[in-house]
């Protein structure tokens, strides 16, 4: 999720390989799929003028490059700032940078391997499967709170609080802290948007400082009084006699809290929108556990929660005839890859009964989303409960996406029911 900057300007791009789309233009972020369709039809490997780096939009390339060890999420382990022209850190975002310093999403081996091994056990499928009853219970409780209303914003009322409470409880934070955690998280993720302003940086940095201050106090308390939670596990787990530092625990907890709800919120909102606009019978989409799983996977494919994932070239190399220098950035277009007509029949159609289902929405390779098993279970349980409880759910107004590209989610989803 870190903001990655193309530091050396790229020149001599063939005109037929260059494309323009302003990420903050409402016409684009309301429907980026028209732009993606043009790329698929012309050149799925293209130079995105606004970002200033090469991007890949086809499923085959994105899937392969996510696993390609010539590329990584960090660059300073193999190059100096001077060597690749990377600007110096900005003092006014020092706290935000500290939250990113030990982030699993940005580290490369061996640091990544050590940290992921110590955390991974809590997120394997057999562990998170035990959370299904709690997720169903929480979904029902949340719906109890608004079922008597005539309409609600489903993002604020349902999609946002559920995963925030689940990941907070899992880490070992009180459920009532979820609104504050959401506030900090929402302010921090604005740092990953295109064209971040100085004011946004100041606010995101303050949110980071407050988040870390909160966690430092919780960590100090856990060291005195351990519990059966993920935070205690991170503080006490050992590998080769090594334990995580407080800074590593904080970075990991913040990543898990931020990423642990962000994708689920967006996929819930985008998925409910897709289902309601499809005209399909929700009862059929959640008729069996197998069909529920297929429905959720199609939600992840059709309208992905994350559309752009960037990586650095760790050495001078070439991809599809495109020369890349050490330090160059490439953009992997997850949302576009999921709509690749060369991979999916009727790629632009929401079809939870398709036989060619797949997606790259959680990434691949060593940075495959550690929380994917949890997110899938949350989506399966929350969405099935929602349509069980409110079978006549319908859109109350035209949904609009938020100005958060490369994240892709609705600013609100007004729904009503009988």
Q: Write down all domains in the chain, each with its CATH number in brackets.
A: 15-416 (1.10.630.10)
d(CA 258, CA 263): 9
How far is it between the farthest Cα atoms of the chain? 63
Share of the chain above pLDDT 70, in %: 97
Report the range of poorest mean pLDDT among 5-9, 266-270, 291-295.
5-9
pLDDT at 237: 83
Average pLDDT over residues 218-245: 88
What pLDDT does residue 203 have?
Answer: 97
User: Distances from the Cα of 342 to the Cαs of 19, 300, 305, 331, in angstroms?
Assistant: 20, 18, 22, 20
Given pLDDT bands bounded at 50, 70 and 90, which one contains residue 1? Answer: very low
Q: According to the model, what pLDDT value does residue 38 have?
A: 97
Query: CA–CA separation, 34 vs 21, rounded Å?
Result: 11
For residue 240, is pLDDT > 80? no
**pLDDT value at position 111?**
87
Write down the mean pLDDT value for the chain.
92
Residue 12 clears pLDDT 80, i.e. is over it: no
| pLDDT for position 9 | 65
Q: Which residue has the higher pLDDT, 35 or 189?
A: 35
Over residues 351-378, mean pLDDT: 94
CB atoms within 10 A of CB 210: 15
pLDDT band at 4 (very low <50, low <70, confident <90, very high): low
Distance (Å, whole) CA 27 – CA 33: 11
CB count within 10 Å of CB 334 equals: 27
Both structure tokens of 77: 């382990």
Mean pLDDT in residue range 102-118 = 87
**Helix (H) or strand (E) run with residue 289 in it:** helix 289-302
User: What is the mean predicted confidence (pLDDT) over 62-84?
Assistant: 94
- DSSP-derived secondary structure letter, 19: E
Q: Which residues contact 410 (CB under 8 A, 6 or more apart)?
A: 155, 266, 269, 270, 273, 399, 400, 401, 402
Measured CA to CA in angstroms, residue 257 lies from 168, 171, 254, 304 at distances of: 7, 8, 5, 19
pLDDT for residue 255 is more than 50 = yes
Closest by CA position to 93, among listed 201, 189, 255, 194: 201
Q: How far is CA 399 from CA 23, 159, 404, 409, in A?
A: 19, 14, 15, 10
pLDDT at 2 over 50: no
């Amino acid at each position: 999720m870190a903001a990655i900057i193309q530091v050396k300007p790229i020149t001599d791009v063939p005109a037929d390989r260059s494309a323009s789309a302003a990420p903050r233009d409402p016409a684009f972020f309301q429907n980026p799929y028209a732009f993606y369709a043009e790329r698929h039809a012309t050149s799925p490997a293209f130079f995105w003028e606004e970002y200033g780096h090469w991007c890949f939009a086809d499923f085959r390339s994105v899937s392969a490059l996510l696993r390609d060890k010539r590329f990584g999420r960090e660059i300073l382990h193999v190059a100096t700032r001077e060597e690749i022209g990377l600007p110096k850190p900005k003092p006014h975002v020092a706290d935000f940078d500290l939250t990113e310093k030990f982030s699993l999403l940005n580290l490369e081996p061996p640091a990544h391997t050590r940290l992921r091994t110590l955390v991974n056990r809590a997120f394997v499928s057999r562990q998170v499967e035990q959370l299904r009853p709690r997720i169903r219970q929480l979904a029902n409780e949340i719906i109890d709170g608004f079922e008597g209303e005539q309409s609600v914003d489903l993002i604020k009322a349902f999609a946002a609080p559920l995963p925030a409470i689940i990941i907070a409880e899992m880490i070992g934070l009180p459920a009532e802290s979820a609104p504050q955690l959401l506030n900090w998280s929402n302010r921090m993720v604005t740092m990953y948007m295109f064209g971040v302003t100085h004011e946004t940086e100041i606010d995101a940095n303050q949110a980071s400082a407050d988040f870390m201050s909160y966690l430092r106090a919780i960590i100090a308390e856990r060291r005195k009084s351990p519990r059966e939670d993920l935070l205690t596990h991170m503080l006490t787990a050992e590998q080769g006699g090594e334990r995580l530092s407080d800074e590593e625990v904080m970075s990991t907890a913040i990543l898990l809290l931020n990423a642990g709800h962000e994708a689920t919120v967006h996929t819930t909102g985008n998925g409910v929108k897709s289902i309601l606009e499809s005209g399909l019978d929700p009862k059929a989409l959640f008729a069996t556990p197998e069909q529920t799983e297929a429905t959720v996977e199609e939600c992840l494919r059709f309208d992905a929660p994350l559309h752009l994932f960037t990586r650095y070239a760790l050495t001078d190399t070439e991809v599809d005839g495109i020369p890349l220098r050490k330090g160059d950035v490439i953009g992997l277009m997850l949302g576009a890859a999921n709509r690749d007509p060369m991979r999916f029949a009727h790629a632009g159609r929401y079809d939870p009964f398709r036989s060619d289902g797949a997606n790259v929405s959680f990434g691949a390779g060593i940075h495959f989303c550690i929380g994917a098993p949890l997110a899938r279970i949350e989506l399966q349980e929350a969405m099935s409960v929602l349509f069980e409880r409110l079978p006549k759910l319908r859109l109350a107004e035209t949904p609009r996406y938020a100005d958060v590209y490369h994240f892709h989610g609705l600013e609100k989803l007004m729904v009503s029911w009988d």
